């Protein structure tokens, strides 16, 4: 089997639940050797469920260390000496108290890359920064939902997952530089950065974000969910070619240009809604996609998984969603998540 692109890269992880573990699991799927340093009681996600833990921790080693002890700190130093990077997601005070910053660890290895994933920054204190709190604080929740209803959340951990992707990128970027150092990724900054064109419209044009029915896009029309004879259909018409094909298939006249559709948004939405009511979402998807029109029936997660069996992998006793990174010539090996302390560290508690 071809070695992964990150073969030979050794990464340490100290953290709990989602953002840090997901970041390092993505690296492990690509061949990095990831050692998860867990406290005597283990990563808190072990207490959620075995399936939850497996979804974030396959392909890793587990070492159990008490980093509050001298022996634990000495063992940490040994690991740092032979590693390229350490990624931690804990409260800033805990990161400093446990000596998990570059300034604390450079004595063991000048080229170690230390990535801190926090809510607001290493110097910003310990205010709670859980996923849903960050979505509320950054304007994401206020942008989600129907205009006449309350703000809402997307139903999965978008802030943690986005921070994980960003942290993995930052870690690799600093390794490629050939220099050690401190890298910071905050959940707040990640989510603000993902509001890119919304924030730019406000900062440069004074356009305040507003919610539109059915999750409609602020620029493109029609780009939203539509009710059909059975189920909802997502359309994302971003240019006039898409509109021409949609209009011909659905029997809609007019609104030929993007500018006209934006100016006459309500008329366009009404016309499309009337046309789509004639068939089911699945029927419209089967008619529009061969024409190149971006369209999809709204599916449940079980339906989506059933439709994409190639994304489901086996890691020991667990069936999981596999890596989303495809590299020619490399097929990831999916090993089960480690048992607590499986690869050494403190002895089992009495």
Note whether 250 and 272 are within 8 A (CB): yes
Predicted confidence pLDDT, tens digits, the chain (350 residues): 689 999 999 999 999 999 999 999 999 999 999 999 999 999 999 999 999 999 999 999 999 999 999 999 999 999 999 999 999 999 999 999 999 999 999 999 999 999 999 999 999 999 989 999 999 999 999 999 999 999 999 999 999 999 999 999 999 999 999 999 999 999 999 999 999 999 999 999 999 999 999 999 999 999 999 999 999 999 999 999 999 999 999 999 999 999 999 999 999 999 999 999 999 999 999 999 999 999 999 999 999 999 999 999 999 999 999 999 999 999 999 999 999 999 998 654 43
The answer to whether residues 191 and 140 touch, using CB atoms and an 8 Å cutoff, is yes
The domain covering 10-194+312-321 belongs, at the CATH homologous superfamily level, to Crotonobetainyl-coa:carnitine coa-transferase; domain 1 (3.40.50.10540)
Identical fold between 10-194+312-321 and 213-227+232-297: no
The dihedral of CA 138, 141, 147, 148: what is its sign?
negative
**Angular region, 145: left φ>0, alpha ψ -120 to 50, beta rest:** left
Cβ neighbours around 71 below 10 Å, total: 11
- Region of residue 96 (left: phi > 0; alpha: psi -120 to 50; beta: else): alpha
pLDDT at 66: 97
pLDDT of residue 11: 98
Neighbouring C-beta atoms of residue 103, cutoff 10 Å: 11
Q: How far apart are CA 270 and CA 84, in angstroms?
A: 57
Q: For the chain, what are the domain ranges? A: 10-194+312-321, 213-227+232-297
Does the domain made of 213-227+232-297 have the CATH classification 3.40.640.10?
Answer: no
pLDDT at 350: 39
Judging by beta carbons within 10 Å of its beta carbon (0-12, 13-18, 19+), is residue 302 exposed, middle or buried? exposed
Mark 208-220 as b/e (b = at least 16 C-beta within 10 Å): eeebbeeebebeb
Give the pLDDT score at 346: 61
Spatial distance between the Cα atoms of 337 and 348, rounded to a whole number of angstroms: 18
């Amino acid at each position: 089997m071809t070695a992964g692109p990150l073969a030979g890269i050794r990464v340490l992880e100290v953290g709990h639940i989602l953002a840090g573990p997901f970041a390092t699991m993505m690296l492990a799927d690509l061949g990095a050797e990831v050692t998860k340093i867990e406290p005597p009681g283990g990563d808190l996600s072990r207490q959620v469920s075995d399936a939850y833990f497996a979804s974030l921790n396959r392909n890793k080693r587990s070492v159990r260390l008490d980093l509050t002890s001298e022996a634990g700190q000495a063992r940490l130093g040994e690991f740092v000496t032979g590693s390229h990077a350490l990624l931690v997601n804990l409260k800033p005070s805990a990161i400093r108290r446990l000596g998990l910053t570059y300034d604390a660890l450079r004595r063991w290895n000048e080229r170690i890359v230390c990535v801190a994933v926090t809510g607001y920054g290493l110097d910003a204190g310990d205010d709670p920064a859980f996923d849903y709190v960050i979505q509320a604080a950054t304007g994401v929740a206020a942008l989600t939902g129907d205009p006449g209803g309350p703000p809402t959340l997307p139903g999965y951990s978008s802030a943690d997952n986005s921070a994980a992707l960003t942290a993995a990128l930052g870690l690799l970027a600093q390794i490629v530089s050939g220099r050690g150092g401190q890298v910071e990724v905050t959940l707040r900054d990640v989510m603000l950065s993902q509001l890119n064109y919304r924030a730019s419209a406000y900062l440069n044009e004074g356009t305040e974000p507003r919610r539109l029915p059915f999750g409609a896009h602020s620029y493109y029309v029609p780009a939203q969910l539509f009710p059909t004879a059975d189920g909802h259909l997502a359309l994302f018409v971003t240019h006039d070619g898409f509109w021409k094909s949609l209009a011909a298939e659905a029997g809609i006249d007019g609104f030929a240009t993007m500018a006209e559709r934006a100016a006459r948004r309500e008329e366009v939405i009404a016309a499309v809604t009337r046309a789509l009511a004639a068939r089911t979402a699945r029927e419209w998807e089967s008619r529009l996609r061969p024409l190149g029109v971006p369209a999809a029936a709204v599916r449940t997660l079980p339906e989506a998984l059933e439709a994409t069996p190639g994304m489901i992998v086996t890691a020991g006793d667990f069936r999981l969603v596999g890596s989303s990174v495809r590299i020619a010539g490399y097929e990831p090996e999916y090993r089960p998540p480690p048992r607590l302390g499986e690869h050494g560290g403190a002895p089992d508690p009495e």
